[in-house]
Amino acid sequence: MPGANRLVEQYRSQKPIDPEEPLIHGVAWDGDVLVVDPETIAEHRLRRKWFSASVSNAMEGCHAQWAAGQIIPSPVDPFLARDAGSFMHDIFEHMFTLPPEQRTRDTYRAGRDAFARDLFDDHATQARWAEYLDTISLGLWDLEDPAQVDVYATELGVFGLPLAGIGVPLIGFFDRVSIDGTDEHGHPQLSIDDYKSGKWSDERKLARYGDHYGDQIRLYVHAIRTILAERDTEAFRQAHADPREKWMFEIGDVVNGQLLYTMVGRKRYIDLSQKAIDTTVHTFAAHWDTHNVLADTGRYDTKTGPLCGWCPLVQVCPAAADAGKCASERATPPPSKIQLPIPRLRPQISASAHSPVQQTPKDKEPIMTDTAETKPTAVPAEPRHLHEGKPWDELSNDDLNIGSYAAGAVFGLVNRATALLRQSFPDVTIKRGQIRQLAVLLAKIVQAGEKHITGRTDWQTQANTRVRGLLFTVLESTPVPSGGSVDDWKAWATRVRKNVIALIDQSVWLWDQTELPHVEFEALAPLVRDPFDVAA
C-alpha cells in the first residue's frame, strides 16, 4: 500500500471544503440509476486499465456508490481508519526491511512519531494521533514476533499482469512476502502476509458477507502461479525485463496466505485450496466484465443496504429515499444537497440510454409512485391459459407458471388488496381499477422491503415471502384512511412502508443476537391501545 508520504503532502496542502461548492459534475439520475458522462468516466478513471481486488469487491455492492466515491473528492483525515491504516502499512513496510533485531516497538514508534510531526504542528495533536495509531498497530506484537519472520520482500507489486485462464490484468501490492521453506529447485516457498487494521471477522460474518480479504490473497496466489507457469517463455521474459521484477524469476510457489489483524492481535490463515482459488478467480473475471459494462454504458445502478448510511450520495439518492435510508451517525457527515447538485434526466433522454448491468425493467420503476400518475396497462382481451409447473420455476411455456412462488406472491397481493378494500368499505362498490391501484401500491411496498434487505427484487424469492408476511401484519394494524384525501393515502402508504422496513430490521436484529438479551417485561407492561407504529 504505497503513498503515506503522498497522503502527508495532500493533507498539508488540502483546502477546507466550501459547503456551497459543488463536489460532483458530469452525472445525472435516471430513475435510481446514476448516469455518468464519458468525460467524467475518463477524468476519474471509472474504467480501469488494470483491475484490483478492491475494485472487484466494490462490484458486489452499489455501483452508483462506487462511481460517486471515485468522483467526489475525499480529503485526507489521518484520524480516519482508512488513512491511518496507510500510515501503519508504511511504517511496517519499512520495519520489515530492517534486520530482525531492529523490528521492535521502538522502531515502529520512531516511524509513527516522524509521521506525526510531518502531519501536525502542535504537540497535543501529534500525541493524540500517535495514541490512535497505536490502537490499530501494536497488536502486531501479539500475533507474531516480528524478529522471527523470514522476510522475502515488502510491497512487491504486479502491474497489469494478465491472470492465467481469464486474462484479466491484475494490479496488486503484497504487503509482505515471507519465506516458508525452500522447494526442490532451491527457490523460496512463500507466505503472503497482509496487514488488516480493522475489526476481526468471525466465521459467521465471513459466511454472511463473503471473505473479500481472503479473495485478495487468493488472487495474489493465482498471480504468483501465473508467473511460475509463464516465466520461462520469451514473451514473459521480455515483458518483465525491468530489474524491479527480477523477483519473478527467483521465487517458488505460495504455501501460505495469512491476514495479520494488527488491531486485535490475531491472524487468520486463508483457504488456498484450488477450489477456493478457482471460485475467486472466476468471480474476479465476472466483476471485470461488470466494470467494463458499467463504463461502456455509463449507467451505475443503485443497491440499497446497510452501507447507504456511509455513502456520500445518501442525501440525494432516490433509491435511498425510497428505502428510507439516511446517513449513519457513526459516519463522516455526507455532502449536502447543495454540494451534490445532481440533475434528473428528462424522460426522452432516459429512454434512449442503455440498460445498466443489473437492472431489469421492474427495477427501473420508482419504488413508491403511489400517485394517480400510474396508468393501468391494458388487460388482455383473450383469456390466458397458464400452465402449472414446479414452484421454483417462474415460467412455464414462456408464461407465468401458475404453480410458482411468484404466482403465489402476486395472487396473494391482489387477494389482500381486494380484502382490504372490501373490509374497509363494506357498503361501496369496489372498482377493478381501485383494486389494481392498491395492489400496485402493496407490491411497491414489498419491493421496497426486498430492496432494503437484499438490494434487489424478485417475486420468486424467500425474501419476497418474508416481506409480504410482515406487510400483512402491518396492514392488519394500520387502517386505511377511510374518506381520506390523496395526501392521507400517501401518508398511510409511507407509514406502512416504514413499519414494514422497521420490522425487517427488527427481524435481522434478532438474528444478530448471538446471545438473547434479558427480556424487559417492564417495557411491555405500560402498553395501551394505540395505532400501530413500530417505526416511530
Measured CA to CA, the distance from residue 338 to residue 23 in angstroms comes to 9
Which region, left, alpha or beta, applies to residue 261 given φ > 0 means left and ψ of -120 to 50 means alpha? Answer: beta
User: In a 3-state reduction of DSSP, which class is residue 167?
Assistant: coil
- From the list 163, 260, 319, 471, which residue makes contact with ligand SF4 (rule: CB under 6 A)? 319
Any contact of residue 35 with ligand SF4 (CB under 6 A)?
no
Any contact of residue 65 with ligand SF4 (CB under 6 A)?
yes
Any contact of residue 357 with ligand SF4 (CB under 6 A)?
no
Any contact of residue 64 with ligand SF4 (CB under 6 A)?
yes
Any contact of residue 28 with ligand SF4 (CB under 6 A)?
no
Listed ranges 187-195, 258-266, 289-297, 308-316: which one lies at the site for ligand SF4 (CB under 6 A): 308-316
Least distance (Å) from ligand SF4 to the CB of residue 63? 8
Any contact of residue 359 with ligand SF4 (CB under 6 A)?
no
In this structure, what are the phi and psi dihedrals at residue 386, rounded to the nearest 5 degrees? -90, 150
Size of the site for ligand SF4 (CB under 6 A): 15
Would you say 218 or 452 has its CB closer to ligand SF4?
452
Listed ranges 38-46, 300-308, 363-371, 493-501: which one lies at the site for ligand SF4 (CB under 6 A): 300-308
Measured CA to CA, the distance from residue 43 to residue 63 in angstroms comes to 17
Listed ranges 115-123, 235-243, 306-314, 503-511: which one lies at the site for ligand SF4 (CB under 6 A): 306-314
Listed ranges 194-202, 307-315, 352-360, 364-372: which one lies at the site for ligand SF4 (CB under 6 A): 307-315
In this structure, what are the phi and psi dihedrals at residue 181, rounded to the nearest 5 degrees? 95, 180
Written as nine digits, the cell of 359 is 437492472
Instruction: Sort 56 into a burial class: Cβ within 10 Å, 0-12 / 13-18 / 19+.
Output: buried
The interface with ligand SF4 within residues 229-268 (CB under 6 A) comprises none
- From the list 95, 177, 224, 308, which residue makes contact with ligand SF4 (rule: CB under 6 A)? 308
On whether the CB atoms of residues 19 and 104 are closer than 8 A, the answer is no
Other beta carbons within 10 angstroms of residue 407's beta carbon come to 20
Any contact of residue 302 with ligand SF4 (CB under 6 A)?
yes
Which region, left, alpha or beta, applies to residue 397 given φ > 0 means left and ψ of -120 to 50 means alpha? Answer: left
Least distance (Å) from ligand SF4 to the CB of residue 314? 4
Would you say 341 or 484 has its CB closer to ligand SF4?
341
Any contact of residue 311 with ligand SF4 (CB under 6 A)?
yes
- In degrees, to the nearest 5, what angle opens at C-alpha 284 toward C-alphas 63 and 291? 35
Listed ranges 109-117, 319-327, 360-368, 519-527: which one lies at the site for ligand SF4 (CB under 6 A): 319-327
Any contact of residue 317 with ligand SF4 (CB under 6 A)?
yes
Would you say 84 or 319 has its CB closer to ligand SF4?
319
CA-based max dimension of the chain: 91
Contacts of 453 (CB under 8 A, 6+ apart): 463, 466, 467, 504, 508
Measured CA to CA, the distance from residue 520 to residue 534 in angstroms comes to 17
Measured CA to CA, the distance from residue 142 to residue 84 in angstroms comes to 20
Any contact of residue 57 with ligand SF4 (CB under 6 A)?
no
Written as nine digits, the cell of 34 is 446514476
Listed ranges 22-30, 61-69, 127-135, 520-528: which one lies at the site for ligand SF4 (CB under 6 A): 61-69
Show the DSSP H helices in 27-122 as ranges: 38-43, 53-58, 63-71, 81-95, 105-119
- From the list 320, 417, 421, 474, which residue makes contact with ligand SF4 (rule: CB under 6 A)? 320
Any contact of residue 304 with ligand SF4 (CB under 6 A)?
yes
Instruction: Sort 134 into a burial class: Cβ within 10 Å, 0-12 / 13-18 / 19+.
Output: middle
Cα separation of the two ends of the chain: 45
Would you say 89 or 303 has its CB closer to ligand SF4?
303
Least distance (Å) from ligand SF4 to the CB of residue 70? 13
Would you say 175 or 322 has its CB closer to ligand SF4?
322
Cα 201 to chain centroid distance, Å, stands at: 16
- In degrees, to the nearest 5, what angle opens at C-alpha 468 toward C-alphas 358 and 518? 105
- From the list 62, 409, 474, 493, which residue makes contact with ligand SF4 (rule: CB under 6 A)? 62
Q: Which residues bind ligand SF4 (CB under 6 A)?
A: 62, 64-65, 302-304, 307-308, 311, 313-314, 317, 319-320, 325
